[in-house]
Amino acid sequence: MAYVGLTNVTIAQGGAADFLYATYAALTSASWVTLGSGTGAAGGYSSSGSLITSAATFNSNNAWARMREPGGVGAREYILQRSTAATTAVIKYSRADGFTGGSPAAAVSPTSTDTRLIVGGGTDASPTGVTICGATGYVQAIASNTATNGTYGFWTFQYAAGTGTFGGILLTEGISPGSTPASVADPSWRLAVASSTWWSNAAPGVSWWQGYNLAGETYITAGNLGFPGSSANTMTTTLTTMSPSANVPFGVDPYDAKVSFFPFYIGKAGTYPKGFSSGISFGLTSQNNLDVFNIATSEPRIAVNSVNNGSLPMPLIVVPWVPNIIPVI
């Protein structure tokens, strides 16, 4: 696995433009392709390439970019679009059909027959923006240039300067191989929340396709990141009795004195489980936001929640990070 990205970005364009451009740049570094773009109110439009060259070019009402992960036609696509206020955005997802429909223009993004709104409201053809992040501080955007279970993951988050208080997080990643059937056409999941307590699963929260391209397919929203002993996301009585508070000492691994990380369960009450996370994970030590782990290796991690103090229901949470980079605070 190799992680690349645009890191330590100082917000200078109001928030959403910085957040979206950092994501765009990270995906570009991971060999994603831009298939169209518009500079919004500024008036520029390309049906096949990129007019987005900086956060400033994203900082125009309804500026957008169409991105496709490596793999060609049929690979996952996203529309990244700044909305009509400084911290608002629209993000649309297409699993396979691609954003080839509608009447795209400088301030109008294309549509797809399998679109799902990951950030925003309204419809595919007429979306409305919602807050994606805070207006000041820093943005970090990380992308994997190798696929997990056929999915190229990415992780973007924003936080306030000086405090490390989070204002928004966006991610997609593959479901861990072996934890979901090999025949599943979309073994991936997404999370998008603008909140200092983003782990609270505010809508749309965790989301994924259930049975994509099969009879009865449905897109699940407001799902959960579950872990053993989580009071809000308890899976069964058996797993509850195996909770860290009851049976696992909080702290580092007693054998090598290192922090260990464990995958999250991706699911929702009343819904068939999706599987386990492959990038975001949890640990059992108390840390600070933005602490980094294994920084000189090919699998570094950074803390995006550190409220764990030896009690449940919330553990230390980490996501992939770029090797040998120190985050600014």
The vertex-250 CA angle with 300 and 273, nearest 5°, equals 70
CA 240 to chain centre: 28
The answer to whether the CB of 161 falls within 8 A of the CB of 136 is yes
Q: How many Cβ atoms sit within 10 Å of the Cβ of residue 235?
A: 17
Question: Which of 100-104, 112-116, 119-123 shows the lowest per-residue confidence on average (mean pLDDT)?
Answer: 119-123
Question: Which two three-digit tokens encode residue 265?
Answer: 């369960």
Residue 21 lies in a domain: yes
pLDDT tens profile 202-239: 556 899 999 998 888 999 998 888 876 544 444 444 33
The answer to whether the CB of 303 falls within 8 A of the CB of 261 is no
Residue 325 lies in a domain: no
Q: State which amino acid sits at residue 9.
A: V
Distances (CA, A) of 309 to 21, 49, 225, 245, 329: 35, 48, 19, 11, 21
CA 93 to chain centre: 12
- Residue 36: the pLDDT is 98
| Average confidence (pLDDT) over 266-272 | 89
- Residue 311: the pLDDT is 46
Q: State which amino acid sits at residue 258.
A: K
The vertex-81 CA angle with 79 and 83, nearest 5°, equals 150
3-state secondary structure of 1: coil
Question: Which two three-digit tokens encode residue 127?
Answer: 């979306």
Residue 327 lies in a domain: no
Residue 328 lies in a domain: no
CA separation for the pair 29, 32 (Å, rounded): 7
pLDDT tens profile 21-80: 999 999 999 999 999 999 999 999 999 999 999 999 999 999 999 999 999 999 999 999
Counted domains in the chain: 1
* Residue of 210, 244, 248 lying closest to 227 (CA atoms): 244
3-state secondary structure of 252: coil
| Average confidence (pLDDT) over 146-155 | 97
Question: Which two three-digit tokens encode residue 218?
Answer: 């449905």
3-state secondary structure of 89: strand
Phi-psi region of 132 (alpha: psi -120 to 50; beta: other; left: phi over 0): alpha
pLDDT tens profile 287-327: 889 999 999 999 999 999 876 544 444 568 899 999 999 99
What backbone phi and psi angles, to 5 degrees, belong to 326?
-95, 120
Per-residue b/e over 181-207, b at no fewer than 16 CB within 10 Å?
Answer: eeebebbbbbbbbbbeebbebeebbbb
pLDDT tens profile 168-209: 999 999 999 999 988 899 999 999 999 877 766 555 689 999
CA 238 to chain centre: 31
pLDDT above 60 for 249: no
3-state secondary structure of 46: strand
Residue 288 lies in a domain: yes
| Average confidence (pLDDT) over 135-145 | 98
Residue 64 lies in a domain: yes
Range of the domain at 289: 3-320
Residue 115 lies in a domain: yes
Confidence of residue 4 (pLDDT cuts 50, 70, 90): very high
Residue 170 lies in a domain: yes
3-state secondary structure of 31: coil
| Average confidence (pLDDT) over 129-155 | 97
